[in-house]
Amino acid sequence: MKVQHNKTLDQARAIFTIAVSCLQHLHNLKEGTVGTEGLSESIENYKVDLGKYHKILLTELNTDSNSQLFSEAILQDHKNKIIRAKQDGQIDNIIEVLLSLRVNAL
């Protein structure tokens, strides 16, 4: 139980670090000390990182209930989502599903 608590705290610290970095970047933009070049990439990186750690936290919290995290139904659902996203040309959705698979694999 203590190990899981430590893992949860580590993930929460990582989320906090990302949030502070994002706020610092926003402050620098407001003050005009940095330009807007690369802003889109920075936002996407923050979004991906926060999503990744959020999913890891959710996974850690769900392990308390002894529920099976990776069932055949979940794998089939992920497969269907990837196929749909590929057909629709939605790269962001493919990345989201792959991140979810990665988190569940941890």
pLDDT, one tens digit per residue, over 20-41 is: 888 888 888 888 888 888 888 8
What percentage of residues in the chain have a pLDDT greater than 90?
Answer: 0
Q: What is the dihedral of CA 90, 11, 67, 94, to 10 degrees?
A: 10
pTM over 0.85: no
pLDDT, one tens digit per residue, over 73-94 is: 777 888 888 888 888 888 888 8
| pLDDT of res. 67 | 47
Q: Of the candidates 48, 62, 56, 61, which has an alpha carbon nearest to the alpha carbon of residue 18?
A: 48
